[in-house]
Structure 1
Amino acid sequence: MYTTINEDGILNNYANEPQIYYADYPSNEEQRSYSFQAGVATLLVTALVLVACGVS
């Protein structure tokens, strides 16, 4: 942690900055996994909306 003291004796603490890194483009397997998750989420939301409409 980086600490400074100003002329009035007040301490200022600064957090350490994390290392910066660039994200990697997802592989084909990860893309398929994301597509599957999106499909399941779409089905779930659609089912919830239909149930809500049916109940009301």
Structure 2
Amino acid sequence: MRYTTEEGGRLNNFAIEPKMYKAEPPTKVQQRNYIFLGIGALALVATLMFVAVSVS
């Protein structure tokens, strides 16, 4: 465990830092899936709004 001793004998603990990595841009397949998920989400919200308006 990483720690340092400060004045007066107190211990100061440090969290273990995670390994850093570079994010990669989405592939064409992932971009296509994001578009389909967005369209599905918009359709769901539009349907819920239609139902809410028609019920009230």
TM-score higher than 0.5 here? yes
Normalised by the length of structure 2, the TM-score is 0.78
Normalised by the length of structure 1, the TM-score is 0.78
How many angstroms does 1:8 deviate by?
2.4
Aligned to 2:54: 54
Identity of aligned residues (%): 45
Aligned: 1:18 with 2:13: no
For structure 1, the residue ranges without an aligned partner over 5 or more in a row are: none
Query: Could you say which structure has the higher helix fraction?
Result: 2
For structure 2, the residue ranges without an aligned partner over 5 or more in a row are: none
SS in 1 for 2:7: coil
Aligned residues: 56
How many angstroms does 1:12 deviate by?
1.9
Aligned to 2:29: 29
